[in-house]
């Protein structure tokens, strides 16, 4: 095959979830519905939080930021997959492929909340930029097939003919720093929550708190479990089908579930949405 260097002339072919033409309408309808639910749920949260002063607190500020991140994540991958299915095309440009990896009240005063969000965006921007700069030094064939439905970083590393040792080391280090350590902190936080719940005397409140924490922990485990599994294993292994299924979990399923798990079950958010819809209905 003819080779292309890092000047940006290469084109990738995304093999997608399946080559079976009979399954393409099913995949298109399924992922279109999931994408629309994700858009609607996260947009409603952003609108509700931004329009209601009662929700201008640290918790809802971070939830609003989470919704925005989920919108960016799904919009960077799913629309291209839907277009490819509908147009019966599987190609994506070199630049378009690099753009997809560029995609993750007392103490907490507003200034600290803003600082933490800016810090997280700053870190992820430079991590993504570093990955892109290293990818641009690799050599790819002019029409390279990628056994995935989007340009997942570890799949690109397996597709190149160049030495990817530095890329893999960076991938593992970043995954450890931004994946393993946060998971450890989350598990420690939930252990403290469970310890506090066990000391509660009200059984009704305890069961409700356990239900809330359980649903939160399930979606967190789904996101980090599949994300860490993909990034820590797929750069060296070749189970493309398993990696694709895991990638669907953290790029499509969890962004769709987050609005329902974190916000839309919350009475404050539901009340804000009700007031927002009432104002919208009363407008001439």
Name residues of the chain where pLDDT drops below 70.
1-10, 99-100, 102-114, 200-206, 234-240, 263-265, 283-284
User: Do the beta carbons of residue 242 and residue 236 sit within 8 Å?
Assistant: no
| Cα 88 to Cα 15, 25, 29, 278, distances in angstroms | 11, 11, 15, 43
DSSP one-letter code for 199: T
What is the enclosing helix (H) or strand (E) of 12?
strand 11-14
Say how far apart CA 189 and CA 219 lie, in whole Å. Answer: 15
Q: Give the separation between CA 280 and CA 216, rounded to whole angstroms.
A: 31
Nearest one of 159, 169, 92, 160 to 131, comparing CA atoms = 169
Concatenate the DSSP letters of all residues of 114-165 into one string: HHHHHHHHHHHHHHHHHHHHHHTTS-EETEEEESSSS--HHHHHHH-SS--H
Question: Comparing C-alpha atoms, which of 259, 266, 216, 208 is closest to residue 54?
Answer: 266
**CA–CA separation, 58 vs 66, rounded Å?**
12
d(Cα 157, Cα 151) in Å, to the nearest integer?
A: 10
Q: CA 9, CA 247: separation in Å to the nearest integer?
A: 27
User: What pLDDT does residue 111 have?
Assistant: 64
pLDDT for position 244: 82
pLDDT of residue 8: 47
The number of beta carbons lying within 10 Å of the beta carbon of residue 188 is 10
| pLDDT value of residue 283 | 67
CA atoms within 13 A on the CB side of 135: 27
- Geometric angle at alpha carbon 145, from 136 and 30, rounded to 5°: 110
Identify whether the C-beta of residue 202 lies closer than 8 Å to the C-beta of residue 161: no
CB 155 within 8 A of CB 243: yes
Q: In sequence order, which residues have a C-beta less than 8 Å from that of residue 128 and are 6 or more positions away? A: 101, 102, 103
Q: Are strands 91-93 and 11-14 parallel, antiparallel or unpaired?
A: antiparallel
Contacts of 28 (CB under 8 A, 6+ apart): 82, 85, 86
> What integer pLDDT is reported at residue 106 of this predicted model?
42
Residue 14 has phi, psi (to 5 degrees) of -85, 115
Supply the pLDDT for residue 105: 42
Q: Which strand (E) or helix (H) includes residue 93?
A: strand 91-93
């Amino acid at each position: 095959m003819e080779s292309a260097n890092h000047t940006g002339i290469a084109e990738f072919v995304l093999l997608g979830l399946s080559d079976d033409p009979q399954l393409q309408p099913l995949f298109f309808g399924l992922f279109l519905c999931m994408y629309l639910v994700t858009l609607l749920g996260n947009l409603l949260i952003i609108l509700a939080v931004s329009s209601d002063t009662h929700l201008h607190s640290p918790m809802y500020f971070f939830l609003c930021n989470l919704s925005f991140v989920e919108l960016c994540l799904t919009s960077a991958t799913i629309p291209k997959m839907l277009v490819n299915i509908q147009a019966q095309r599987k190609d994506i440009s070199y630049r378009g492929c690099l753009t997809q990896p560029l995609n993750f009240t007392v103490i907490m005063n507003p200034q600290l909340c803003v600082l933490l969000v800016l810090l997280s965006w700053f870190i992820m921007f430079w991590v993504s930029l570093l990955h892109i700069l290293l990818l641009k030094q690799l050599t790819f064939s002019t029409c390279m097939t990628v056994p995935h439905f989007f340009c997942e970083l570890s799949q690109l590393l397996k597709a190149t003919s160049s030495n990817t040792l530095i890329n893999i080391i960076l991938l593992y280090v970043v995954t450890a720093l931004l994946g393993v350590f946060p998971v450890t902190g989350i598990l420690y936080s939930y252990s403290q929550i469970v310890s506090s719940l066990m000391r509660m005397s009200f059984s009704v409140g305890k069961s409700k708190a356990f239900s809330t924490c359980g649903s939160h922990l399930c979606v967190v485990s789904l996101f980090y479990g599949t994300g860490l599994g993909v990034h820590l294993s797929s750069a060296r292994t070749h189970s493309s089908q398993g990696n694709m299924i895991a990638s669907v979990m953290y790029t499509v399923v969890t962004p769709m579930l987050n609005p329902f798990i974190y916000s839309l079950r919350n009475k404050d958010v539901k009340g804000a949405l009700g007031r927002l819809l009432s104002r919208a209905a009363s407008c001439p």
